[in-house]
Amino acid sequence: MSSVDVELNTPQAEAVAHVNGPLLVFAGAGSGKTRVITYRVANLIARERIAPYRILAVTFTNKAAGEMKHRLTGLAGEDVVRDLWVGTFHATCARLLRRHGEAIGLTRNFLIYDTQDQKAVVTRVLRELDLDERRYPPRSVLYQIHKEKQEGRGPDEMSPESYVDDAVIKVFRRYEAHMREANAVDFEDLIGHMVRLLEREGEGDAIRRRFSHVLVDEFQDTNAMQYRLVRALVRDHNNICVVGDDDQSIYRWRGADVRNIRYFRRDFPGATVVKLEQNYRSTGNIVRAALGVIAPSPHREPKELWTQNDNGPPIEVMAAADERDEAAFVTGRVLDARKAGASLREIAVFYRVHAQSRVLEEALRIANLPYQIVGGTKFYERAEVKDALAYLRLLANPRSDVDLLRIINTPARGIGTTTVDRLVSFAGSRNQSIHEALEVIDEARDIAAAAQKRLAALRHLLERLRARVEIASPSDVFLEMIEQTGYREALRADNTAESDARLENLAELGGSIREYEASAAAAGEKASLDGFLESVSLQSDIDGLRDEPRVTLMTVHGAKGLEFEYVFLTGMEEDMFPYKSMDERGDEELEEERRLAYVALTRARRHLVLTHTQARQIFGKTRWGAPSRFLRDLPREAIVHKQTRGAKSVPQRFIDRPERPLAPAPWAAASRGGWGAPSAPPAPARPAPSQTPGQRYVDREFFQDDHGGESAPLRRGSRVRHQQFGEGEVRSVVHAAEPAVVAFFPGWGEKKILTRFLRPA
């Protein structure tokens, strides 16, 4: 046995040792997923002698990709990691498309438009088509376009069964034309073009042949096109390993389709399936609580998280009077934790929506507790940074109209909306990009001579700078740009606190360009403006913030993949969590809320506190909320109910889980200021699996023991007999939903077994 094997449990080792053919790994929360992925890759290289450059590992975020590279560097060394293909879906596609994209009409230096750019294109198209922006909000039109693209449909293939407004189709068509004209792609295009390329003879084969082993992390988050991409990529060899957890699928609203992981077995016949169910992260109470919340979820792949860890302290469910009371309570507990020696780094406060953060922030500030909010306005979304980047992109790719229009009068240079409108229609009438139109601006009759002059001056300015791109380093070009365009001077003249902050942000951008140059040099590549822009457009935020310990505030979505010693989950009221939006909440959405709650609970290592309020101000209105239905799914023995001094006590009916689906009666009694909840329906009782024969997956084992079957008094050292494994010895007792132990069977190794499958030996 090598040292590698010793560090892995049985299913982990199985996943690591697997080499060829499809492999599906269900990775429960805290089950050592990253370890399995990295060891598996290391194993392919070291033992199976697969060349690193033939292995592709795909993630969803740059952070996850970075983490994977980091961990692999420790295992396999820098040289190996440099040759591996590790990246997000989008970054990987961009990289391949720059090399092979000519075949489908992409030039090497295409731009990637982010959401804001895309929206600007839509807005422009709406105006061109003279459509009312109130009737067709750009945001929602863009959303509809993306929905189609995520399913791989263009304007001409939009699904006829789903009624779509004719106007949207028109906008879609022109949107695509504009993107082509600007030599730009959106995020969906990166995937879509790649699929098209892969499905072609020649180029497709070449790309397919590149990779002999493909791995996809967080597979439950893939959408239809990403799934198609993966299938096309591994068509020849089926050496595909996907890792994920259907219980943690929380991105349905952005196109993710859990069925990709649930139907993997069907689509890749003969797939090996491994389930990582041992949780190394959390206490027994937390694991059981999480199981209680996720168990009622229908269709889930049967799996049972368990842990050998001790039970730990009980989970607290705290009732507060309102959101200020709640925030004060959380702050007090954070202070206690710090007094007890916890680092603020180990403490997180979660909420369902960002709007909840303000009150928490205020309370923490009063208590002088440093905090950081994850997911506020991102660095690269600040106006000044976007402006500067627009200039840089325009230097790299003159045809980018969105960028040109963004900066055409920034800083103010006397080019107003009238001039811009005329310029746009002038370019449109000649079927040219605006940049091309600028070259012949003197032919534009409607544009006043003075305005023509200013436009020409802008053109010359851009040309001067563009000439420098060939010669100077990206960071020098950047400095010359903010100087010569007058951008910096305009901010300096402003001389307000805000303009100071903006100047600082520009300095930081300059710093990140230099950082890019350094990393390019380290990788032996030439730093180019194109290269920098690419790294920016596929990277969302700068996380290299100062390392002072801080309390972390974030939405539950943002928490996925993280873990903390202390977790405070706030706003556990009906209509907050599960969240109630304007439109009707479908069953699917409710199930996603449930999974979201599961994700939240499983972030905590040892201390978990859930808070809910009687009344909450949100969006200027007061909501009276009953405790969340998810609270009643927590196993009673793992939790303790408390209330702050300001809160009234919680009626028992909000604590108990109803035996049978309730008649609506007890809920209907709303009393202002009490725990009335006119809008709160009774939580759906746990589905009785035996009564729903049509379901695909029924977790029978779990439910059968829900009535509390007597378990034999087993302890470490007890001798037991199992039908298949024979006689063995109990190594530890496990805290799972049902009594279980880990036992050692000679010839089989350690196995986790439900107690009811064991007989005393």
Partner DNA sequence: TCTTTGTAATTTTTT
Partner DNA sequence: ATTACAAAGA
**From 6-14, 195-203, 515-523, 617-625, span contacting DNA (CB under 7 A):** 617-625
Asked if residues 653 and 600 have their Cβ atoms less than 8 Å apart, the reply is: no
Q: In this chain, which of 619, 652, 672, 707 binds DNA, going by CB under 7 A? A: 619
Does 555 sit near DNA (CB under 7 A)? Answer: yes
Residue with tokens 């759906």: 684
Q: Is 625 annotated as a binding residue?
A: no
Which 18-47 residues touch DNA, going by CB under 7 A?
none
Q: In this chain, which of 6, 340, 412, 449 binds DNA, going by CB under 7 A? A: 412
Tell me how crowded residue 114 is: count the other CB atoms within 10 A of its CB.
Answer: 18
Q: In this chain, which of 358, 716, 719, 759 binds DNA, going by CB under 7 A? A: 358
Query: Closest separation between CB of residue 152 and DNA, Å?
Result: 15
Which 139-168 residues touch DNA, going by CB under 7 A?
139
Helix/strand/coil for 152: coil
Q: Report the residue number, 114 or 530, with the smaller CB distance to DNA.
A: 114
Does 450 sit near DNA (CB under 7 A)? Answer: no
CA distance linking residue 380 with residue 383, whole number of Å: 8
Q: Is 31 annotated as a binding residue?
A: yes
Q: Report the residue number, 450 or 640, with the smaller CB distance to DNA.
A: 450
| Burial class of residue 154 (count of CB atoms within 10 Å of its CB; 0-12, 13-18, 19+) | middle
Does 448 sit near DNA (CB under 7 A)? Answer: no
Burial code of 528-551, b = ≥16 C-beta within 10 A, e = fewer?
bbbbbbbbbbbbbbeeeeeeeebb
* Of 181, 189, 217, 325, catalytic: 217
CA distance linking residue 578 with residue 595, whole number of Å: 10
Q: How many CA atoms lie within 13 A of 290 on its CB side?
A: 34
Q: What is the DSSP string of 348-392?
A: EEEESSGGGHHHHHHHHHHTT--EEETTSS-GGGSHHHHHHHHHH
Query: Closest separation between CB of residue 596 and DNA, Å?
Result: 7
Q: Report the residue number, 127 or 648, with the smaller CB distance to DNA.
A: 127
φ and ψ at residue 607, rounded to 5 degrees: -110, 125
Does 133 sit near DNA (CB under 7 A)? Answer: yes
CA distance linking residue 103 with residue 761, whole number of Å: 68
Q: In this chain, which of 554, 610, 737, 753 binds DNA, going by CB under 7 A? A: 554
Q: Report the residue number, 99 or 358, with the smaller CB distance to DNA.
A: 358
Tell me how crowded residue 675 is: count the other CB atoms within 10 A of its CB.
Answer: 22
Phi-psi region of 177 (alpha: psi -120 to 50; beta: other; left: phi over 0): alpha
CA distance linking residue 534 with residue 98, whole number of Å: 11
Q: Report the residue number, 561 or 627, with the smaller CB distance to DNA.
A: 561
Annotated catalytic residue 705: no
Q: Which residues make Cβ contacts (< 8 Å) with residue 52, sequence separation at least 6?
A: 45, 76, 80, 81, 83, 84
Does 417 sit near DNA (CB under 7 A)? Answer: yes
Does 552 sit near DNA (CB under 7 A)? Answer: no
Q: In this chain, which of 88, 222, 278, 570 binds DNA, going by CB under 7 A? A: 88
Q: Is 558 annotated as a binding residue?
A: no
Site mask for DNA (CB under 7 A), range 173-202, x = bound = --------------x---------------
Q: Report the residue number, 122 or 396, with the smaller CB distance to DNA.
A: 122
CA distance linking residue 410 with residue 404, whole number of Å: 10
Does 467 sit near DNA (CB under 7 A)? Answer: no
Annotated catalytic residue 174: no
Does 558 sit near DNA (CB under 7 A)? Answer: yes
If DSSP states are collapsed to H, E and C, what string results for 508-571? HHHHHHHHHHHHHHHCCCCCCHHHHHHHHHCCCCCCCCCCCCCEEEEEHHHHCCCCEEEEEECC
| Burial class of residue 244 (count of CB atoms within 10 Å of its CB; 0-12, 13-18, 19+) | buried
Q: In this chain, which of 210, 237, 262, 354 binds DNA, going by CB under 7 A? A: 354
CA distance linking residue 502 with residue 411, whole number of Å: 13
Query: Closest separation between CB of residue 339 and DNA, Å?
Result: 30
CA distance linking residue 448 with residue 453, whole number of Å: 9
Question: How many angstroms from the chain centroid is the CA of residue 342?
Answer: 28
Q: Report the residue number, 385 or 754, with the smaller CB distance to DNA.
A: 385
Q: Report the residue number, 579 or 703, with the smaller CB distance to DNA.
A: 579
Asked if residues 370 and 347 have their Cβ atoms less than 8 Å apart, the reply is: no
262: tokens are 């649930």
Q: Report the residue number, 62 or 212, with the smaller CB distance to DNA.
A: 62
* Of 67, 218, 245, 401, catalytic: 218
Annotated catalytic residue 248: yes
Annotated catalytic residue 603: yes
Does 63 sit near DNA (CB under 7 A)? Answer: yes
Q: Is 284 annotated as a binding residue?
A: no
**From 467-475, 504-512, 603-611, 616-624, span contacting DNA (CB under 7 A):** 616-624
Q: Is 670 annotated as a binding residue?
A: no
Which 382-411 residues touch DNA, going by CB under 7 A?
409
Q: Is 418 annotated as a binding residue?
A: no
Does 485 sit near DNA (CB under 7 A)? Answer: no
CA distance linking residue 570 with residue 627, whole number of Å: 11
**From 56-64, 303-311, 466-474, 711-719, span contacting DNA (CB under 7 A):** 56-64
CA distance linking residue 578 with residue 634, whole number of Å: 15
609: tokens are 């506190």
Does 6 sit near DNA (CB under 7 A)? Answer: no
Site mask for DNA (CB under 7 A), range 565-604, x = bound = --------------x-xx------x---------------
Does 365 sit near DNA (CB under 7 A)? Answer: no
Does 253 sit near DNA (CB under 7 A)? Answer: yes
Asked if residues 108 and 101 have their Cβ atoms less than 8 Å apart, the reply is: yes
Q: What is the DSSP string of 232-273?
A: HHTTTT--EEEEE-GGG---GGGT--THHHHTHHHHSTT-EE
* Of 12, 14, 33, 574, catalytic: 33
Q: Is the sign of the CA dihedral 503, 504, 510, 513 positive or negative? A: negative
CA distance linking residue 1 with residue 144, whole number of Å: 55
Could you tell me which of 574, 580, 589 has the C-alpha nearest to residue 619?
A: 580
* Of 454, 603, 623, 752, catalytic: 603
**From 54-62, 635-643, 657-665, 679-687, span contacting DNA (CB under 7 A):** 54-62
Q: Report the residue number, 88 or 614, with the smaller CB distance to DNA.
A: 88
Q: In this chain, which of 15, 55, 68, 91 binds DNA, going by CB under 7 A? A: 91
Give the residue ranges of the annotated binding site.
27-34
What residues are designated binding site for ATP? 27-34
Q: Annotated active-site positions, please?
A: 33-34, 217-218, 248, 603
Q: Which residues of this protein are in contact with DNA, per CB under 7 A?
A: 60-63, 88-91, 114-115, 123, 133, 139, 187, 253-254, 352-355, 358, 375, 378, 409, 412, 414-419, 538-541, 554-555, 557-558, 579, 581-582, 589, 617, 619-620
